[in-house]
Amino acid sequence: MNSKKLVVFQSDDVFQYELENLIEVFIVRSAFELTMDNQKYRLIKETAQYGLEIHFYENRIDFRFFTDKVLDERTLFVVAGALKTHKNEFKKMVYDLLIKVEKPLSKWGILIGIRPVKIVHELIDEGHGLSDIRQILKESYYIQPDKIDLMMEIAEKERAYLYPVNQKSVSLYLCIPFCPTRCVYCSFPSNDLKKKGKYLPLYLERLIDEVQFAIDEIHKAGKYIDCIYVGGGTPTSLDASQLHKLFDAIDSKLDRRLLKEYTVEAGRPDTITAEKLSVMKAFGVDRICINPQTMNDETLLQIGRNHGSESIVEVMELAKTYHFKSINMDIILGLPGETIKDSAASIDKIIALDPENITIHTLSVKRASRLKEDIEHFELVHDKMVTDMLADAEARLRDSGLTPYYMYRQKKMIGHLENVGYAKKGYESLYNMRIMEEKHTIVACGAGAVSKICTPEENRFERIANFKGLEDYLNRFDEVLEKKKIINEN
Ligand SMILES: C[S@@+](CC[C@H](N)C(=O)[O-])C[C@H]1O[C@@H](n2cnc3c(N)ncnc32)[C@H](O)[C@@H]1O
Ligand code: SF4
């Protein structure tokens, strides 16, 4: 392979992360190695076929780019001023140089963050007009017109729900970090029921204690809960009586009439039963997720979902008889071995089931997933094909009356694309929009859950993370409760 070595000399971890991601926009990640070393740059210079040298000083940056393709076109930039205040300018310079020798793989320009639409909201809040914002996205971030259109469409839709920010209302998130089996692509800190199921009863006790404590703190702070999201993992890993116990414990502490949305990410069809759906309905759950990921039986088997497409259809038909306000279905484009014909067929089958929401993800090869560990056993889809799959999916969804209402990006996504939530008009999920735009307080309970306490007038939020591991969460529970007191201190 024509391996390329990129060398960066610097000491700021945040910037290293940004730069690494930016370089990946141009060069397939397996084809380069990013070396962070302040000492050995000469050695690397000798071996490099393709190099980027960046020297950071107190008040200037020396930046050199070279490649065997343009060796005689060496460029040296010296940037005055501190790096942090010039981060975007610097990223644009890297982009300008790389684009001389490589075609960008992404339409997102220098933007590598996971919440693109947040930028639009911030610009609107600063008083910029819409055409001004388009110009900024193009010139300051190098974002391509079709992605700008998408950002603007989503921002407009979200604003009706998110503004003005009501500081009295709070969303509540609960994490059930258990799943019947582990999917190959997943990196969520979820536990296999077969191995860790013995902890489930104690976990449920603790979670109930935490959530009741949190609700009391929210009320003491003079706030109220208007949105609940039970996610995971797979919340329907709990049996019907356990679900009843959990919902009842929540119900006894709050006024359900104030809820605008109550979601349970049931997720895996193989965990959903009539009894569990009845419990959800009885406690006012009005939005559930039944996630196929794909409707291709071979792929379902390969990714470890433990069920076929037939059970997705059956569960969906059963769920419809309960008349939840909204059902969401998640799909992942670019699953191993799939072609555009497969993804189109999946989308059409899902559209035929008529859910109110469909969320389109593109595969992200996460470090902590079995897919990454075992990569040589999977036939990964190419960036170009996933790009085509996404465009095809978008056209099919728009044709059937679903339009984008929220979006996020992830690290290591094939094709450097985006995940987009589609909804029928009036069925947009409040929680999904809130979590992306970070203007609203979310109090999160359970292992791995992260609360965000927002102070919108200062455009600031505080992140409070619970222990990720199940054992830590259970054994250090006093600390978990202690951290929850911050709700009442803000
Ligand atoms: C919190 S996860 C899990 C929900 C539920 N347990 C399930 O699997 O149906 C939410 C969604 O993220 C998506 N997802 C998870 N891992 C992913 C990955 N590595 N790449 C792309 N999408 C992913 C899946 O579509 C999944 O339904
Ligand atoms: S994708 Fe969902 S069901 Fe699969 S392991 Fe992850 S959280 Fe569990």
Residues 427 and 329: their CA atoms lie apart, in Å, by 13
Residues 406 and 419: their CA atoms lie apart, in Å, by 8
List strands edge to edge, sheet with 450-455.
Answer: 403-408, 419-423, 357-362, 326-333, 287-290, 261-267, 224-232, 169-176, 442-445, 450-455, 460-465
Predicted local confidence at residue 461, as pLDDT: 84
Tally of residues, the chain: 490
Interval 295-309 mean pLDDT: 94
Do the Cβ atoms of 177 and 204 come closer than 8 Å?
no
Domains of the chain: 4-101 (3.40.50), 116-159 (no CATH), 169-479 (3.80.30.20)
Report the residue among 182, 192, 372 best suited for mutation to probe ligand 2: largest number of ligand atoms under 8 A from its CB.
Answer: 182
Predicted local confidence at residue 415, as pLDDT: 86
Nearest to 40 by CA among 83, 8, 78, 14: 8
Interval 226-237 mean pLDDT: 96
Residues 183 and 380: their CA atoms lie apart, in Å, by 16
Predicted local confidence at residue 293, as pLDDT: 97
Chain segment 98-154, per-residue pLDDT in tens: 777 678 888 999 998 889 999 999 999 999 999 999 999 999 999 999 999 999 999
442-445 and 419-423 as β-strands: parallel, antiparallel, unpaired?
unpaired
Query: How far is ligand 1, taken at its centre, from the CA of residue 186, in Å?
Result: 7
Interval 217-239 mean pLDDT: 96
Q: Name the band, by pLDDT with cuts 50, 70 and 90, for residue 392.
A: very high
Query: How far is ligand 2, taken at its centre, from the CA of residue 400, in Å?
Result: 28
Give 115-134 as a DSSP string. -HHHHHHHHHHTT--HHHHH
What secondary structure letter does DSSP report for 364? B
Residue identifier of the C-alpha nearest atom 5 of ligand 2: 182
Q: Mean pLDDT lowest for which of 246-250, 443-447, 453-457?
A: 453-457
Query: In the predicted model, is pLDDT for residue 191 greater than 50?
Result: yes
Report the residue among 181, 185, 188, 270 best suited for mutation to probe ligand 2: largest number of ligand atoms under 8 A from its CB.
Answer: 188
Residue identifier of the C-alpha nearest atom 11 of ligand 1: 330
Enumerate residues lining ligand 2, CB below 6 A. Answer: 179, 182-183, 186, 188, 190, 232-234, 267-268
Per-chain mean pLDDT for the chain: 86
Query: In the predicted model, is pLDDT for residue 77 greater than 60?
Result: no
Q: Name the band, by pLDDT with cuts 50, 70 and 90, for residue 319.
A: very high
Query: In the predicted model, is pLDDT for residue 70 greater than 50?
Result: no
Residue identifier of the C-alpha nearest atom 9 of ligand 1: 267
CA angle 324, 177, 320 (to 5 degrees): 15
Residue identifier of the C-alpha nearest atom 2 of ligand 2: 233
State whether the beta carbon of 402 lies less than 6 angstroms from ligand 1.
Answer: no
State whether the beta carbon of 326 lies less than 6 angstroms from ligand 1.
Answer: no
Which atom of ligand 2 approaches the CA of 305 most closely?
Answer: 4
Q: Which ligand is nearest to the CA of 234?
A: 1
Q: Mean pLDDT lowest for which of 101-115, 280-294, 326-340, 409-423?
A: 101-115
Residues 360 and 216: their CA atoms lie apart, in Å, by 36
Strand partners, 6: 34
Of 380 and 398, which is predicted with more confidence?
A: 398
End-to-end CA distance of the chain: 55
Chain segment 26-67, per-residue pLDDT in tens: 766 555 555 544 443 444 444 444 455 555 555 445 555 555
H or E element: which one contains 302?
A: helix 297-302
Query: How far is ligand 2, taken at its centre, from the CA of residue 234, in Å?
Result: 7
State whether the beta carbon of 186 lies less than 6 angstroms from ligand 1.
Answer: yes
Do the Cβ atoms of 207 and 174 come closer than 8 Å?
yes
Predicted local confidence at residue 57, as pLDDT: 52
Query: In the predicted model, is pLDDT for residue 74 greater than 50?
Result: no
Predicted local confidence at residue 53, as pLDDT: 57
